């Protein structure tokens, strides 16, 4: 669980980097430029992080289309990495879209997002912060983290832990859950995860098809991830974000000896909200809950995966094709998996 907490913490920290770097590099100026400008700039800068989490929470729900027998169960831990597309590494800053933040040179520029390259100050456009038309300060545009320079891929991780339980008539109930886990000290923040999904064997209702040697199910899942990180707990300042994801898919899988090949096709959507909550006082003003952002994704989701079963243990990997394609790797164990009369084990006992 500690590892899980840590991974979630990492996710949260990555997501809060924009806030951090802004704060580090004169957060007061950022706020005093006006909340509308601050929200607009931050929304564009952080979009890949929040979109990525939205795609990530909808992945990794299953590694077979075959439900358990009644009271059979599986427990899986997985990491979903939503790969930030090249188009998500930069956003266009237009002077016309902002009131009190302008480029020092030119009227439009491509600025890195949080998941863009880590550029040095010489390569970053400069932003001018204005107050009633008068320049107050100039700051390099926020840089990206350059994650692809140190990690195998430029991706937003979403760790998941889930339990699947076989009910009756070819139905699995899947639960994602962590209690309210504190991050560090008790008042430094928390992470809470809840998800529920149902997978139901539909092949049993389809004449002819039910004789074919594969498994076919429908799946619907909902995930809710809430994270809160203290900016200053003494001042009751918190960065909070919540992601809600829903996925509906038709699943198909085929087990061949130790291997199960599976795939899904359907629709997934998510909504992520981020708020910088509390009262923030600058030299000139106070701001209550100054940052409030919302991101929504939705669209077709197609994925393919492969599972290797070694006794009770499962290793699985999956790839989802969508705007932010998502790679999933996981490990778990499973008992009392359902049997299919048309799936003939090639290795006795498996």
Nearest approach in angstroms of CB 286 to other proteins is 13
Of 192, 163, 170, 149, the C-alpha closest to 65 is 170
What is the biggest distance separating any 2 CA atoms in the chain, rounded to whole angstroms? 79
Part of the chain binding other proteins (CB under 8 A), chosen from 12-20, 195-203, 291-299, 317-325: 12-20
Residue 5 or 21 having the CB closest to other proteins: 21
In angstroms, the CA 93 to CA 196 distance is 39
Spatial CB neighbours of 282, under 8 Å, sequence gap ≥ 6: 28, 31, 32
Residue 28 or 74 having the CB closest to other proteins: 28
**Positions in 112-151 near other proteins (CB under 8 A):** 118, 120-121, 124, 126, 135-140, 142-143, 145-147, 149-150
- According to DSSP, the residues that pair with 111 across neighbouring strands are 91
Report CA Rg, the chain. Answer: 23
Residue 138 or 211 having the CB closest to other proteins: 138
Q: Is residue 274 within the footprint of other proteins (CB under 8 A)?
A: no
Q: Is residue 23 within the footprint of other proteins (CB under 8 A)?
A: yes
Q: Is residue 14 within the footprint of other proteins (CB under 8 A)?
A: yes
Query: Alpha helices of the chain — where are they, by DSSP H?
Result: 2-15, 17-24, 27-32, 35-57
The DSSP call for residue 290 is -
Residue 232 or 296 having the CB closest to other proteins: 232
Q: Is residue 26 within the footprint of other proteins (CB under 8 A)?
A: yes
Binding residue for other proteins, selected from 5, 39, 70, 237, defined by CB under 8 A: 237
Residue 156 or 268 having the CB closest to other proteins: 156
- According to DSSP, the residues that pair with 304 across neighbouring strands are 263, 319
The DSSP call for residue 86 is G
In angstroms, the CA 239 to CA 272 distance is 13
Residue 14 or 46 having the CB closest to other proteins: 14
Q: Is residue 181 within the footprint of other proteins (CB under 8 A)?
A: no
Q: Is residue 233 within the footprint of other proteins (CB under 8 A)?
A: yes
Q: Is residue 284 within the footprint of other proteins (CB under 8 A)?
A: no
Number of residues that bind other proteins (CB under 8 A): 40
Residue 180 or 232 having the CB closest to other proteins: 232
CA 317, 59, 300 angle in degrees (round to 5)? 115
Binding residue for other proteins, selected from 4, 5, 21, 95, defined by CB under 8 A: 21
Q: Is residue 171 within the footprint of other proteins (CB under 8 A)?
A: no
Per-residue binding letters, 73-102, with other proteins (x by CB under 8 A): ------------------------------
Of 62, 51, 110, 106, the C-alpha closest to 84 is 51
Residue 21 or 70 having the CB closest to other proteins: 21
In angstroms, the CA 32 to CA 99 distance is 11
3-state SS assignment for residue 99: coil
């Amino acid at each position: 669980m500690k590892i899980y907490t840590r991974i979630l913490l990492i996710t949260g920290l990555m997501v809060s980097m924009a806030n951090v770097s802004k704060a580090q590099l004169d957060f007061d100026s950022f706020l005093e430029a006006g909340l509308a400008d601050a929200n607009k700039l931050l929304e564009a800068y952080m979009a890949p992080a929040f979109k990525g989490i939205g795609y990530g929470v909808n992945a990794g729900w299953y590694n077979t289309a075959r439900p358990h027998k009644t009271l059979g169960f599986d427990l899986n831990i997985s990491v979903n990495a939503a790969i930030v597309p090249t188009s998500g590494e930069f956003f266009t800053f237009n002077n016309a879209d902002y009131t009190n933040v302008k480029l020092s040179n030119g009227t439009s520029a491509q600025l890195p997002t949080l998941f863009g390259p880590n550029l040095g100050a010489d390569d970053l456009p400069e932003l001018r912060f204005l107050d009633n038309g008068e320049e107050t300060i100039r700051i390099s545009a926020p840089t990206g983290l350059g994650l692809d320079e140190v990690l195998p891929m430029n991706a937003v991780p979403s760790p998941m832990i889930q339990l699947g339980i076989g009910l009756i008539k070819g139905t699995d109930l899947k639960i994602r859950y962590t209690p309210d886990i504190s991050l560090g000290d008790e008042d430094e923040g928390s992470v809470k995860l809840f998800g529920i999904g149902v997978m139901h064997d539909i092949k049993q209702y389809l004449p002819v098809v039910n004789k074919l040697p594969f498994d076919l199910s429908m799946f619907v899942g909902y995930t809710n991830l809430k994270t809160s990180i203290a900016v200053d707990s003494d001042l009751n300042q918190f960065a909070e974000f919540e992601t809600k994801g829903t996925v509906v898919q038709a699943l198909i899988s085929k087990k061949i000896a130790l291997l199960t090949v599976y795939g899904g096709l359907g629709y997934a959507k998510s909504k992520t909200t981020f708020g910088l909550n509390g009262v923030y006082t600058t030299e000139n003003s106070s701001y209550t809950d100054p940052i409030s952002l919302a991101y929504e994704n939705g669209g077709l989701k197609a994925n393919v995966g492969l599972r290797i079963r070694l006794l009770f243990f499962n290793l699985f990997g999956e790839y989802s094709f969508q705007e932010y394609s998502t790679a999933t790797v996981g490990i778990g164990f499973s008992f009392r998996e359902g049997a299919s009369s048309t799936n003939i084990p090639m290795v006795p006992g498996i």
